[in-house]
Amino acid sequence: MDAKKTLVMGVIGADVHAVGNQILNYAFREAGFNVINLGVMVSQEEYIEAAIESAADAILVSSLYGHGELDCQGFRDKCDEAGLKGILLYVGGNIVVGKQPFEEVEKRFKAMGFDRVFGPGTTPEEGIAALKKDLYGA
């Protein structure tokens, strides 16, 4: 593996679900990543600022409370505008309102510019495996 990669992570919008965030933070560190964890209630701007400041390799957005689809709109464009063109963008959690077929949800979020979309019940290991693949090609 190459040098330590840097991740910016947090829970977007007015969302206060903190448990998954704290566990992911711990798991990503344990897995050898450099993690900037912004905690809960993070705005798009805060992610982007932190990513620029830390020269991050990826932004990991969590949304649990149901407003994820609203909160994530335009995120990729904002990244592009801020000079983060092509930065790896993940989103995960209970990202829509209600129980919906995951395939459709995934499609919508991919169309919004997210590289990977993770549904309810995703384990930290799955996230780590994807990051290793996308960041180290492993």
**Terminus-to-terminus CA distance in the chain, angstroms?**
8
Rounded Cα distance, 59 and 81, in Å: 15
By CB under 6 A, is residue 33 in contact with ligand B12?
A: no
CA atoms within 13 A on the CB side of 41: 2
- What amino acid is encoded at 79 in this protein? C
Q: Which of 99, 103, 111, 137 is close enough to bind another protein by CB under 8 A?
A: 99
Question: Radius of gyration of the chain from Cα atoms?
Answer: 14
User: Is 67 a catalytic site residue?
Assistant: no
Structure tokens at 110: 């991919």
- List the interface residues with another protein, window 54-83 (CB under 8 A): 65-67, 70
Stretch that binds another protein, among 51-59, 94-102, 107-115, 129-137 (CB under 8 A): 94-102
Residue number, 90 or 103, with CB nearest to ligand B12: 90
Helices (H), 1-138: 19-30, 44-54, 68-72, 75-81, 102-111, 124-136
Q: Is 57 a catalytic residue?
A: no
Query: CA-CA distance, 69 to 105, in Å (whole number)?
Result: 9
Contact between 101 and another protein per CB under 8 A? no
Number of residues interacting with another protein: please give it, by CB under 8 A: 25
User: Which of another protein, ligand B12, none interacts with 70 (beta carbon under 5 to 8 A by kind)?
Assistant: another protein
- From residue 108 to residue 127, what is the string marking binding to ligand B12 with x (rule CB under 6 A)? ----------x-x-xxx--x
Positions that interact with another protein (CB under 8 A): 14-19, 22-23, 26, 39-41, 65-67, 70, 94, 96-100, 120-121, 123
